[in-house]
Structure 1
């Protein structure tokens, strides 16, 4: 049987570290036995800077592990400067529209909800230009996400955003989203009438790349030594230090645990934040001003090293700001479950990841904004450090992942749903 052609619009793609880029890479590579795949994305630039070798031409063609990659040159940007970010995103959007003409015949067009609104519109464009079937993969709903964190106060702007994204949903042949609560959001948008065909497929992590390591693993030990974590009880946040996680308030909860706080098994408690993002400088300033010597900031880890940093944490945060239920799904959970780590969940009841944590009894959860309860849950881990119950939480998460949330299970579902159209 001749393979069908599938065009994917991916704002970021490897080697960029954006979580959506990683997922799309694994999805594309996992479906190569059924499709010829072309990806349109930006030149590597997730952290804002661009290597000189990507600054001379408009487009760069590459092949990575059997996937054709067509990269678009975009201007550099700063994550804290709105204007430069907008310019960068618009360059991708218009560049991707033009690049569509360079990709030959396509049977299917697949786009993701990144960048907000524009990702969906690119898919509609691709459908029209290529006379193809369109799959819209919604990882985050906008304008709902923008409204949840008050990023804009303009009803006019959010109404226009909603109109465009509903338009993208209506024009799609299939909406794929990543949580039970996100499926409800699609239904609510259309008030139950003429709802586009929608299915849920969980995100994943490659469970063969991330798995539990022994405490004395030399690379885990080296990571802990490098960042002053050895011999300590590490409560870790790993991922994007950005707008949608209420981190500016969570750091105030962390402040309640004074330097020198010890666990029941006499280890000093440290809070480690691994990653980068628009809120990082604010957190660093707060920690400095309040002399929080038990907080450490660690840069983004390459994907190959993620297994060591995740294993260096004793307990991991998985958090969202209030209002994110049904809007976004923190994919970092899959890495924590893969590494068999217990979770401090700050997530709304009924949200996909909270359901997974509660179904497996893989950690302690409470609502965003319940700061006293968050403190209480952290104290529970400090008071039970070294006990079997904490280890068992992580093991249950890993076992469920191996059965229900592997890369192969999810990628197979994607291929089946697309080929059924």
Structure 2
């Protein structure tokens, strides 16, 4: 009996706004994290019914809660109203439904040893972790993927000093009550220290995000599914520069499209391939990009819907070069996880990222692409021209190979998940408000 108690798994509650099968990058990462830690923890996830794109399937509209078991992870889903990403009110209504629903759902669960919450939805994700800590008398691990209100300030989503001040107060409150903060970049660790001005800084560690390198890997361009994808969207025999991911507020895509406009339809590489710019995904600025394309007759720009996760390996491999971008002010605030998929597919990177940000550091250290500073559109244009000029020379392929080699050595799912397990298990109450 004593031996059985010693080997019993610790119970971990994970608050995740989105979870598989939703296509949100954090939902995919959390699924792989949860499944990867099942050898150490008995895990329950509280999340919304699948609804990342705004719609809810009929089968999730009849009950308030839905219980599922996905690959050994217990999932408790909350019904939320449908929304439009272009409508602020409907998005807020949807987010609040998750927040209050998750608080209530916490009472449906038994004892927990650990509560793990991410920084999404902004501010509320941290508060959910504090709530879970109090209700379950558990240790609280706060996984900060994006800092707010810093992110809101960077894109001027709100200029209200009261709103921004309140957001900062609340999220610092969540940080203070965490037993451990895990961020996803060196620059994000600095943000924690800057928030607290170096005094009574909560224990903070950095663990890189990842992609499952067994699911995303290099595929030959003549693979039947790659060929089918290219044919479906008019990418056959083209030099493809692709953006794949959330087409949202934090990437300055509207201004980058103006740079792309300088490359007129019919632009060709030295080898005679037409150049095409593909955007794969959806988000709040997609309609604006589509409208701009139409008004300016940019026939070399293609918009493609989100791909099923099983097909992502083929869409990523359909490109010759991938964008990895953030808007100015996002350094130390957010880390574009799309980079890991680009590297896993062994593709070169057209980066628009601030100096000393985590992903730009990795790209520069591995010489896996070309980097520009956000807002330096002349440099962005020059880098696009470099890729077009060097298409077919082997230089671009070698960039991608270096990125994948580094990923296999340092940024695999197994490496990061093991670090998460170790940090959570070593988390003690005495760490609260200690300096890292």
TM-score by length of 2: 0.96
| Structure 2: runs of 5 or more not aligned | 1-6, 428-436
Taking the aligned partners of 1:144 and 1:33, their CA distance within structure 2 comes to: 36
Taking the aligned partners of 2:202 and 2:376, their CA distance within structure 1 comes to: 36
Runs of 4+ in structure 1 deviating by more than 6 angstroms, as ranges, are none
Quote the RMSD (CA, aligned, Å). Answer: 0.4
- What residue number does 1:196 align with? 202
Shift of 1:146: 0.1
| Matched ranges for 1:112-131 at <5 A | 112-131=118-137
Shift of 1:328: 0.1
Equivalent residue of 1:353, what SS?
helix
Taking the aligned partners of 2:169 and 2:317, their CA distance within structure 1 comes to: 43
| Matched ranges for 1:69-80 at <5 A | 69-80=75-86
- What residue number does 2:389 align with? 383
Taking the aligned partners of 1:39 and 1:277, their CA distance within structure 2 comes to: 25
Taking the aligned partners of 2:62 and 2:374, their CA distance within structure 1 comes to: 46
- What residue number does 1:254 align with? 260
Equivalent residue of 2:107, what SS?
helix
Shift of 1:247: 0.3
TM-superposition CA deviations, 1:276-312 (whole Å, max 9, x none): 0000000000000000010000000010000000000
- What residue number does 2:159 align with? 153
Q: 1:324 aligns with which of 325, 330, 352?
A: 330
Q: 2:90 aligns with which of 61, 64, 84?
A: 84
In the alignment, does 2:146 pair up with 1:140? Answer: yes
- What residue number does 1:32 align with? 38
Taking the aligned partners of 2:220 and 2:300, their CA distance within structure 1 comes to: 24
Equivalent residue of 2:346, what SS?
coil
In the alignment, does 2:370 pair up with 1:347? Answer: no
Shift of 1:264: 1.1
Shift of 1:388: 1.4
- What residue number does 2:238 align with? 232
Taking the aligned partners of 1:321 and 1:86, their CA distance within structure 2 comes to: 23
- What residue number does 1:402 align with? 408
Taking the aligned partners of 2:160 and 2:154, their CA distance within structure 1 comes to: 13
Taking the aligned partners of 1:160 and 1:38, their CA distance within structure 2 comes to: 31
Shift of 1:90: 0.3
- What residue number does 1:285 align with? 291
Taking the aligned partners of 2:370 and 2:250, their CA distance within structure 1 comes to: 20
Q: 1:187 aligns with which of 187, 190, 193?
A: 193
In the alignment, does 2:197 pair up with 1:167? Answer: no
Taking the aligned partners of 2:61 and 2:264, their CA distance within structure 1 comes to: 48
Q: 2:309 aligns with which of 303, 306, 312?
A: 303
Q: 2:417 aligns with which of 366, 390, 411?
A: 411
Taking the aligned partners of 1:69 and 1:14, their CA distance within structure 2 comes to: 10
Taking the aligned partners of 1:312 and 1:391, their CA distance within structure 2 comes to: 13
- What residue number does 2:433 align with? none
TM-superposition CA deviations, 1:124-183 (whole Å, max 9, x none): 000000000000000000000000000001010000000000000000000000000000
Shift of 1:314: 0.3
TM-superposition CA deviations, 1:78-113 (whole Å, max 9, x none): 100000000000000000000001111100000000
Taking the aligned partners of 1:326 and 1:387, their CA distance within structure 2 comes to: 35
Total equivalences in the alignment: 421
Taking the aligned partners of 1:153 and 1:192, their CA distance within structure 2 comes to: 27
- What residue number does 1:15 align with? 21
TM-superposition CA deviations, 1:26-53 (whole Å, max 9, x none): 0000000000000000011001110111
Equivalent residue of 1:160, what SS?
helix
- What residue number does 2:273 align with? 267
Taking the aligned partners of 2:336 and 2:153, their CA distance within structure 1 comes to: 18
TM-superposition CA deviations, 1:62-89 (whole Å, max 9, x none): 1000000000011111100000000000
| Structure 1: runs of 5 or more not aligned | none
TM-superposition CA deviations, 1:329-386 (whole Å, max 9, x none): 0000000000000000000000000000000000000100000100000000000001
TM-superposition CA deviations, 1:5-31 (whole Å, max 9, x none): 000000000110000000000000000
Shift of 1:319: 0.3
Taking the aligned partners of 1:74 and 1:185, their CA distance within structure 2 comes to: 33
Taking the aligned partners of 1:213 and 1:51, their CA distance within structure 2 comes to: 33
Identify the structure with bigger relative contact order (alpha carbons < 8 Å, sequence gap 6+).
Answer: 2
